[in-house]
Amino acid sequence: MTAKIGIVIGSLRKESFSRKIAENVVRLLPDGVQVEWLPVDVPMYNQDLDDSGQWPQAWTDLKSAVAQCDAYLFVTPEYNRSIPPVLKNALDIASRPYGQNAWAGKKGAIIGVSPGALGAFGACQVLRQGVVFLDITLLQQPEMYIGGVDKVLDENGSADERTTRHLQGFVDRFMEFIGS
């Protein structure tokens, strides 16, 4: 199976640590795996727009991109012991309208990224709750929390050798998990 993996970044910042870690992961994927960077910078979900069928084009584009993926990799920072609003918004939009959840029945994995020592552990736990409800089956082990991320990336955004080894083990297990 040649998988198409949707990469979901929980940060919009241009120099996002989450994006840099995701870019490192993409370089470690086996040949033939396709990657789709899911567009999460979209207008906030609004039930009125959903009910009226007046979806912004950005919502439609996100939901379509989500539906075309075989699996998902979520890479997120932690905001106040939870997930960033942009990530929650993307989850909500692609699961709507009710009964038309584009995430459902797929597999996924989570990487938490933080300059702090806990590696976004709190955000990962909150994210697990949401994605399990959305019927995404998550890789349970290995868990991947990258604390002190600002110290493991060089000026070009490449991870140090130790982190790269950990990421490779994670990627190998994720590929096995999704059957690719």
Residues 15-32 pLDDT 10s:
999 999 999 999 999 999
Q: What is the CATH number of the domain that holds 117?
A: 3.40.50.360
Domain ranges, residue 18? 4-178
For residue 114, give the nearest of 18, 11, 38, 12 by alpha carbon.
18
Share of the chain above pLDDT 70, in %: 99
pTM of the model: 0.96
Q: What is the pLDDT of residues 64-89, one digit of tens each?
A: 999 999 999 999 999 999 999 999 99
pLDDT, tens digit (0-9, with 9 covering 90-100), for 117-143? 887 899 999 999 999 999 999 999 999
* CA separation for the pair 1, 43 (Å, rounded): 34
Count: domains in the chain: 1
Q: How far apart are CA 97 and CA 79, in angstroms?
A: 27
Evaluate whether 110 touches 144 at the Cβ level (below 8 Å).
yes
Query: What is the chain's mean pLDDT, rounded?
Result: 95
102: nearest Cα among 86, 88, 91, 89: 91
